[in-house]
Amino acid sequence: MSVTLDSYEPIVGRQVLDEIRFLAEHLKGRRVLHVNSTAVGGGVAEILNRMVPLLNELGLKSRWEVIKGGEAFFQVTKRFHNALHGRAAEFSRQDFRLFLETNAQNARTLSLEAEALFIHDPQPAALVLEKPRQGGRWVWRCHVDVSDPQADLWRFLRRYIDRYDAAIFSAPQFAKPLPIRQLLIAPSIDPLAKKNEDLSEETIREVLHRLGVPRDKPLVTQISRFDALKDPLGVIEAFRLAKRTVDCRLILAGGGASDDPEGSQVLAEVREKAGKDPDILVLELPPGSDLEINALQRASAVIVQKSIREGFGLTVSEALWKGRPVVASAVGGIPLQIAHKYSGLLSRSIDGAALCIKQLLNNPAYAKRLGENGREHVRHNFLLTRHLKEYLLVLIALEHPEDVIPL
């Protein structure tokens, strides 16, 4: 059965849907374009998959375009990504030139006609140079943690960001001194996506069997792209410390994204560190492994997200929505999702993460309570319907630049 806005009523209630429809009445027929850099893998693609059809159902004309670029371009933008997350990096003129040339090529091939454009993350940010020719209101939707960006890169990107009508950040600490309007909107998960919908115990069992995951010990799981900023090596260390006192098995599951060229190297490092340890399973997931991720999350005793930097970390809300106890680093948007000792546990080190894992494995009743609180927190704050409503408010606000509309 196809998912429509009404399908969300049992989860969020009638009033939320009525508010969404009321706002959408003011926006009928508006062309809204989302542009990002990958159709699969990563949180942005995850969100747009359902956001775009729902906007259409509400009577807007919504489209999603993905920019194209060569390997060298994505190498550069991955370095941008890391440097925006604060990692030291140097950029040459050639890097910046390649970035601009690829954006210009995409500007020639993509259809950018719309009343409102949401340009996601730095990769397509220079498309805004088309704004004077194309018209429309342009929003830079930043999903990464830019609280401490590398200075040269930020200076370079500001030439483009400053041309937007507004910028949206995921967490308050990412806001920057900018001459444009700034809005704060947290990302969201779709409770009706294959990745998050309810599963029977039988399905979970089948999927784990197919993946070759035994369930004789409690599972401690991190699901993430193989990216150094997700710290999979640190997860292995924390797991080994925890395992000294509580028997358990680690699952590191993930795949790549087409705009992330570093995945295979990180995966090789993970495999090396895991060695022949029979209690560490490294699972490479192909794109579209939504059912597998859902089943793994549901089957886990503890979900870990030991990121070093994180824009938001959708995997945290995904786990909480399934009532799972989560141990996650107190970085980026993660503390929005986890109130320490209420809806999960926040850690700040490998030792801390190990301690939290042990605590949850040793105390299932406490773990269950954290998971239940987490689920309710996600229901009220991080589901797609809240996100949709805030995007509609942004669209209305953009049409009234002279008014201040509280969000």
Q: Contact between 312 and ligand UDP (CB under 6 A)?
A: yes
DSSP state of 285: P
Tell me the helix, strand and coil percentages in the chain, rounded to 5: 50, 15, 35
Least spacing, CB of residue 206 vs ligand UDP, in Å: 19
Site for ligand UDP, residues 11 to 50, rule: CB under 6 A: 42-43, 46
User: Considering only residues 23, 199, 274, 314, which one is a binding residue for ligand UDP as defined by CB under 6 A?
Assistant: 314
Residue 175, SS3? coil
Piece of the chain touching ligand UDP by CB under 6 A; list 62-70, 102-110, 112-120, 217-225: 217-225
Length of the chain: 407
CB-nearer residue toward ligand UDP: 291 or 393: 291
Could you give the count of Cα atoms lying within 13 Å of 63 in the half-sphere of its Cβ? 14
Work out how close the CB of 289 gets to ligand UDP at its nearest, in angstroms, rounded to a whole number. 6
The residue sitting closest to ligand UDP, measured at its beta carbon, is: 43
Instruction: State yes or no: residue 232 binds ligand UDP (CB under 6 A).
Output: no
The reply on whether position 318 binds ligand UDP by CB under 6 A is: yes
Token couple for 318? 């995904």
Q: Which of 23, 60, 252, 285 binds ligand UDP (CB under 6 A)?
A: 285
Q: Tell me how far apart the alpha carbons of residues 256 and 174 are, in angstroms, rounded to a whole number.
A: 25
Count Cβ atoms within 10 A of the Cβ of residue 134 and give its class: 0-12 exposed, 13-18 middle, 19 or more buried.
middle
Q: Which stretch binds ligand UDP (CB under 6 A): 107-115, 166-174, 208-216, 311-319?
A: 311-319
CB of 309 to ligand UDP, least distance (A): 9
302-305/181-184 β-pairing: unpaired
Q: Is 344 a binder of ligand UDP (CB under 6 A)?
A: no
Q: How far is the CB of 305 from ligand UDP (least distance, A)?
A: 7
The nearest distance, CB 329 to ligand UDP, in angstroms, is 12
Q: Is the dihedral of CA 68, 73, 74, 79 positive or negative?
A: negative
Spatial strand order in the sheet of 61-66: 61-66, 31-36, 116-120, 137-141, 166-169, 181-184
CB 181, min distance to ligand UDP, A: 24
Nearer to ligand UDP, 313 or 371 (CB): 313
Q: Given the rule CB under 6 A, which of 104-112, 149-157, 285-293, 341-349 is the region that contacts ligand UDP?
A: 285-293
By beta-carbon proximity to ligand UDP, the closer residue of 288 and 364 is 288
Binder of ligand UDP out of 102, 221, 315, 337 (CB under 6 A): 315
Beta carbons within 10 angstroms of residue 316's beta carbon? 30
The one among 102, 103, 106, 224 contacting ligand UDP by CB under 6 A: 224
219-223 β-sheet, strand order: 280-284, 249-254, 219-223, 302-305, 326-329, 345-347
Binding residue (CB under 6 A) for ligand UDP from 54, 125, 293, 326? 293
Among residues 99 and 312, whose Cβ is nearest to ligand UDP? 312
- CB-nearer residue toward ligand UDP: 313 or 325: 313
Give the SS3 label for residue 212.
coil
Binding to ligand UDP by residue 323, rule CB under 6 A? no
Instruction: Number of residues interacting with ligand UDP: please give it, by CB under 6 A.
Output: 17
CB-CB contact of 156 with 147 (8 Å): no
Distance separating alpha carbons of residues 124 and 283, to the nearest angstrom: 31
Give the other-Cβ count within 10 Å of 184's Cβ: 13
- Look at residues 3, 5, 55 and name the one whose alpha carbon lies nearest to residue 33: 55
Q: How far apart are CA 69 and CA 196, in angstroms?
A: 31
From residue 184 to residue 213, the character string flagging contacts with ligand UDP as x (rule: CB under 6 A) and all else as - is -----------x------------------
Residues that bind ligand UDP (CB under 6 A): 42-43, 46, 195, 223-225, 254-255, 285, 289, 293, 312-315, 318
